[in-house]
Structure 1
């Protein structure tokens, strides 16, 4: 089974190559590094960082040096993080990983990008009232799709083995923005409807599939207005599949087709450049319908699916992974992320048992989250578990 640790480029920059890679090989004993190449905004606590305890990650920043020629003429372009200065931590990681015989994966957040969303509102999703979700990009927008394809191709010059594609789909209303406020409870249905995209590109794609997109948008607006006006509306929610005479379900299916086609295009670019692309499904099977995640279709479109195995017991990890078979995804097509921290693991034996479960199920890749966010004792726990 292949193993890797997810990390930020700032971990490498703050610690230096020798200490950083020494921890990966000598403490964790993994054979790979999964380094964030584009990441969303965050504020984190770093238990063993020599330069900071609390640090910020810039919104939608790139941690590699984009090739200007490749991005010429494109509206959406990755912006290098200020933290990397004039350097290229991804190039350094590729060099050091190669010297140590380690595989390098690119952990890439594609569509959850505050920076590009605020710079190009027309490329962000629009709800039924036309309000833009500026913290993300819409997978139906042509400029966004060109950005995704080009971003995949950029990684090839670093000798990347696989791209871990995070956020290559739609997001719901509560996906996350600092100081979000919801003082009047709307209920899960209204919140779900507020997270659907009705931008011109999405409506056109749905209409091309025979879906009455305008009729769906009107019905969605009416239901949201009902929830905003009537404080008891959440007690009498309609079934999503009955809205607009059942056409809402077809509209959601059209959104899933948009996501699948974009993932297929991204995977084709990866293949062309000798890389793999795995689609990160953080919520797990059966939970991503409103995000446009159609697991059976995606499993055929990309090189693999990556999911979170966050759970305190090996039995729960087994249940999470086994559930994918119900959606036509064989465990041999999965990569699973485990957390070695104390909130998930009571010790090395617990983590080793989870790894054995994955091995028994035929999962070929395990990754551990997250280098900078865990104690060094958790890194040691990974090494002990892998040796066990």
Structure 2
């Protein structure tokens, strides 16, 4: 079973290569590192960082040096984080990983990008009222798709083994923005409908499949107005698949086809450069329909489905994998991320048992979240669990 730890470039830069890679090999005992190449805004606590305990990550920043020639004339282009200065952490990581016999994976956030969404609102998803979700990029927009493809090209320069594709899909309303506020109870149906994209590109994609996109948008607006105006209406259950005389289901299916086709294009481009592409699904089976996530189709279109195995017991991890199998995703086509920290894990025996479940099911890769966000004792826990 292959193993890796997810990390930030700032972990490498702040600690230095010898400490960073030494902890990965000597303490955690893993065979690879999964380094964030483009990442979203965050504020995190870093327990063992020698320079900053609390760090703010910039919105939509890149942690490699983009090739200016590739991005000439583009509106959507990666902007290097100010935290890396004039350095190229990916080049440094690639050299060190190669010297130490470790695999390097590129953890890449594609469509959750505040910086680019705010700078180019027409590239962001739009709800049924035309309001733009500026923390995101729409997978149906041609410029967004070209941006994603070029990111894959860029990462190939570093000898990356695999691209871990995060946020390669639509997002719901509550995906995360500083000081989001909901003073009235919207209800799950209104929240779901407010997260569906009705930008011109998504409407055109649905129309090409025979779905009456304008009729669906009108029905969604009417349903939202009804629920936003009345608390009792907001609490009513709803069969969304029946909305707009069933056309809403076809509209969402068209969104899923948009996501699958983009994932397939990126996978083909990655393979061309000798890389693999893992589609990171954080929601799990049955929770991604409105985000455009069709798990069986994505499993066929990409090299791997990667999911979060965050759970307190080995049995719960087994249940998560069983749910994927019911949706046509076989364990041998998956990678699973585990957390060795106290929230999920009470010791190396617990973590070893979870790894044993994955091995027994035939899962070929396990990753651990997250180098800089865990104590060094949690890295030791990984090493003890893998060694057992």
TM over 0.5: yes
**What is the correspondence of 1:289-368 to structure 2 with a 5 Å cutoff?**
289-368=289-368
Q: Counterpart in 2 of 1:276?
A: 276
**Equivalent in the alignment of 1:19:** 19
Matched, 1:98 2:98: yes
2:243 aligned residue = 243
Partner of 1:258: 258
What corresponds to 1:387 in structure 2? 387
Distance in 2 between the 1:55 and 1:232 partners? 42
- Structure 1: how far apart are the matches of 2:235 and 2:313? 36
How far the C-alpha of 1:239 sits from its partner, in A, is 1.3
CA distance in 1, matches of 2:116, 2:237: 35
Gap runs ≥5 in structure 1: none
What is the alpha-carbon distance in structure 2 between the residues aligned to residue 103 and residue 191 of structure 1?
Answer: 40
Report the Cα distance in structure 2 between the residues aligned to 1:67 and 1:9, rounded to whole angstroms: 18
- 1:1-388 equivalences in 2 (<5 Å): 1-388=1-388
Count of equivalent residues: 388
Shift of 1:235: 2.9
2: CA distance, partners of 1:18 / 1:235: 56
Deviations 1:297-320 (A, max 9, x none): 001110100000000000000110
| SS of alignment partner, residue 320 of structure 2 | helix
Distance in 2 between the 1:73 and 1:145 partners? 16
Shift of 1:325: 1.0
Contact in 1 for aligned 2:228/2:234 (Cα 8 Å): no
Q: Deviations over 1:319-339 (max 9, x none)?
A: 101211111111000000000
Shift of 1:183: 0.4
1:237 to partner: Cα distance: 3.4
RMSD: 0.6
Q: TM-score, normalised by structure 2?
A: 0.99
CA distance in 2, matches of 1:335, 1:33: 14
In the TM superposition, what is the alpha-carbon distance from 1:186 to its structure 2 partner?
1.2
**Separation of aligned partners in 2, 1:214 and 1:331:** 40
Provide the C-alpha distance between the structure 2 equivalents of 1:207 and 1:359, rounded to a whole number of angstroms.
45
C-alpha separation in 2, matches of 1:219 and 1:237: 16
Cα distance in 2 for residues equivalent to 1:235 and 1:191: 11
SS at match of 1:257: helix
Runs (4 or more) in structure 1 with deviation over 6 Å come to none
Structure 1 residue 384, shift from structure 2 partner? 0.2
2:4 and 2:366 in contact (8 A); partners too: yes
Q: CA deviation at 1:275?
A: 0.4
**Structure 2 CA distance, aligned partners of 1:241 and 1:110?**
28
State how far apart, in whole Å, the 2-side matches of 1:249 and 1:126 are.
18
Deviation at residue 234 of structure 1 after TM alignment: 2.1
Q: CA deviation at 1:72?
A: 1.9
Q: Deviations over 1:350-388 (max 9, x none)?
A: 000000100000000000000000000000000000000
